[in-house]
A and B are shown apart, each in its own frame.
Chain A
Amino acid sequence: MLIAGKVSWALMTLGFSLIMLAILYLASRKIYIPQIREHPGVHAISEAVGRAAEMGRPVSFSPGTSSLYDTKYAGDTAAALTLLSYVAKEAVKSGSKLIVGIAPPTVLPVAQAIVRTAYSLEGKAEEYVEGDTVRFYSPDQWGFTSSYIGMMHRERVAANFLFGGHAAEALILAETGATVGAMQVAGSTNVYQLPMFVVACDYTLIGEDQLAAAAYLSPDPAQKGTVFGQDIAKIICVGLIVIGALLSTAGIKIVYQLLAS
């Protein structure tokens, strides 16, 4: 039996999922491959790693302070881990030293596996140092912050990536990165921390851009299919908002009642 108040939620989730899966199928079969505009923030990732290699200074990466089963920011952490894979491969290719700072213990083994695999795939497994390339700092928010900013100052990082779920520590991390002269690319779905990243970082992946960044970077057309599916879902939402607002103004509450069911 469906819980009252969640019927429309269940139907919309199902509907949007089916749209995305249908476009993903079309793209994977190469029946329809959507064209996606280039995102400057996503392309700045390679630029920042290249800059670090030229300067001979390390690259730092934080996948956030939220765990993989965090109710609100688990999606951010998953997105950050997919970006970590890309950054690790770029860093190994360019010969830059990579330092990954970890706060939530659940993210540690996953991040270690991702970075170790990236080093192995590039044929440089011996450059991965257990406990040093991926560093566990502290599960405590401020313990992690002090360790991460200390590392940025000591190592004089030339590129800093802040993805995943960051909270009040976001500005301290980003401002420290700016102080040491690092090129910074950040991303967040936390609407309260986004302004902090926007003012302190060179590029910011706002909201869903971070979640779709791995699909932007992937050469696989099927990945781009879901991004196109997202856009269709958004168009439907905008349509519902406009129709709902017009009907409500006219005193007809049908869309409101439908969504509240």
Chain B
Amino acid sequence: MAGVWRRIASAILLIASLVILFDFALRNPTLQSVATDLNNWAVVVGAFALGIGAYSLILRHGRMISKRSPLWPYSLLLLGTMLAFIVTGLATGSITSPQYNWIYTAIIMPISSSLYGMNAFFIASASYRAFKAKSWEALVLLVAAIFLMFKNAPIGGVISPILPQIGGIIWDFAAATGMRALLIGIGIGTLALGLRVIVGQEKTPLGGAE
């Protein structure tokens, strides 16, 4: 039975992929309308999936609260926050209401920004490990990074105008060419992966281990 479902899923995937691909290259109003519908369906399916996610979250944290697992008060806090959002949204009838926006801007935004800001400290610790010149590759990385820092930080130009120029050459030639070569490989790799999924060689993205 699973094999039949997988074949149906593969067939749907093949048809949908071809519609999207041809819509990208051809100017055809019918094709365009079908492709738009397919994209809208994806959004609707995504909304349903959010419901499954919420169920999974409630199941796990509900279990943790009932078993009084370590840190269960945090589970209670999480479910309480979820409920507060739902109640506020339903009571005000909009997710753009001032009350709903207040919860978002006063609580979620600062926490998210703080987490994003932590990247600076993680970059410092990762750089320290990466730039320890233990091998020739690490030494090349270190030297390139120093020139790039001179390119971006004002102190580079103050020491000597040549330093930012060397950084610019590294960025414009070495980094840009390497990045473009990677992007070509990624494009072809994505095409190959898509083909493997469409022809049924790769079955896992359709939801089943082989």
Expressed in whole angstroms, the minimum distance between the Cβ of A132 and any Cβ of chain B is 6
B interface residues, Cβ below 8 angstroms from A: 21, 24-28, 39, 42, 45-46, 49-50, 52-53, 56-57, 59-60, 63, 71, 108, 111-112, 115-116, 118-119, 122-123, 125-127, 129-130, 179, 182-186, 188-197, 199, 201-202, 204-210
Q: Mark A104-133, 1 if CB is under 8 A from B, else 0.
A: 111011100110011001000000001110
Contact check: which of A13, A68, A82 meets B191 at CB < 8 Å? Answer: A13
Let me know if A211 and B190 touch, CB within 8 A.
Answer: yes
Let me know if A206 and B112 touch, CB within 8 A.
Answer: no
Let me know if B190 and A21 touch, CB within 8 A.
Answer: no
Let me know if B127 and A199 touch, CB within 8 A.
Answer: yes
Contacts of A2 in B (CB 8 A): 25-27
Question: Would you call A62 an interface residue if the criterion is a C-beta within 8 Å of the partner chain's C-beta atoms?
Answer: no
The answer for the CA separation of A64 and B194 in the assembled complex, in Å, is 18
Q: What is the interface residue range for chain A against chain B?
A: 35 or more
Q: Mark A162-174, 1 if CB is under 8 A from B, else 0.
A: 0000001001101
Let me know if A171 and B119 touch, CB within 8 A.
Answer: yes
Query: With A82-B204, A114-B209 in contact, do A212 and B189 touch (Cβ < 8 Å)?
Result: yes
Closest chain A residue, CB of each to CB of B46? A106
Contacts of B24 in A (CB 8 A): 6, 9
* Majority secondary structure, B binding face: helix
Contacts of B49 in A (CB 8 A): 104-106, 108-109
Question: Would you call A227 an interface residue if the criterion is a C-beta within 8 Å of the partner chain's C-beta atoms?
Answer: yes
Let me know if A105 and B209 touch, CB within 8 A.
Answer: no
Question: Would you call A32 an interface residue if the criterion is a C-beta within 8 Å of the partner chain's C-beta atoms?
Answer: no
Let me know if A237 and B25 touch, CB within 8 A.
Answer: no
Let me know if A175 and B125 touch, CB within 8 A.
Answer: yes
Closest chain A residue, CB of each to CB of B184? A237
Query: With A106-B46, A131-B56 in contact, do A13 and B205 touch (Cβ < 8 Å)?
Result: no
Query: With A75-B189, A142-B112, A211-B190 in contact, do A175 and B56 touch (Cβ < 8 Å)?
Result: no
Let me know if B195 and A20 touch, CB within 8 A.
Answer: yes
Query: With A6-B24, A191-B182, A191-B183 in contact, do A171 and B123 touch (Cβ < 8 Å)?
Result: yes
Interface residues of A in 186-218 (CB under 8 A from B): 189, 191, 194, 196, 198-200, 206-208, 211-212, 214-215, 218
Let me know if B201 and A220 touch, CB within 8 A.
Answer: yes
Let me know if B53 and A75 touch, CB within 8 A.
Answer: no
Query: With A2-B26, A108-B56, A191-B179 in contact, do A200 and B116 touch (Cβ < 8 Å)?
Result: no
Closest chain A residue, CB of each to CB of B210? A85
Contacts of A196 in B (CB 8 A): 126
Let me know if B59 and A1 touch, CB within 8 A.
Answer: no
Contacts of A108 in B (CB 8 A): 49, 52-53, 56
The answer for the CA separation of A83 and B162 in the assembled complex, in Å, is 47
* Majority secondary structure, A binding face: helix
Let me know if A136 and B42 touch, CB within 8 A.
Answer: no
Query: With A108-B49, A110-B207, A145-B115 in contact, do A136 and B57 touch (Cβ < 8 Å)?
Result: yes
Expressed in whole angstroms, the minimum distance between the Cβ of A174 and any Cβ of chain B is 8
Let me know if B25 and A172 touch, CB within 8 A.
Answer: no
Let me know if B60 and A132 touch, CB within 8 A.
Answer: yes
Let me know if B209 and A21 touch, CB within 8 A.
Answer: no
Query: With A108-B49, A108-B53, A196-B126 in contact, do A1 and B28 touch (Cβ < 8 Å)?
Result: yes
Expressed in whole angstroms, the minimum distance between the Cβ of B32 and any Cβ of chain A is 11
Expressed in whole angstroms, the minimum distance between the Cβ of A104 and any Cβ of chain B is 8
Closest chain A residue, CB of each to CB of B50? A105
15 chain-A/chain-B pairs, Cβ below 8 angstroms: A3-B27, A20-B191, A24-B195, A75-B189, A81-B205, A82-B205, A110-B205, A113-B207, A114-B207, A131-B56, A131-B63, A189-B182, A199-B126, A200-B126, A212-B189
Closest chain B residue, CB of each to CB of A121? B209
Contacts of A168 in B (CB 8 A): 116, 119
Query: With A105-B53, A108-B52, A139-B50 in contact, do A208 and B188 touch (Cβ < 8 Å)?
Result: yes
Question: Would you call A41 an interface residue if the criterion is a C-beta within 8 Å of the partner chain's C-beta atoms?
Answer: no
7 nearest A-B pairs in the assembled complex, by CB-CB distance = A208-B189, A211-B189, A105-B49, A199-B130, A75-B190, A113-B207, A131-B60
Question: Would you call A46 an interface residue if the criterion is a C-beta within 8 Å of the partner chain's C-beta atoms?
Answer: no
Contact check: which of B39, B52, B63, B191 meets A109 at CB < 8 Å? Answer: B52
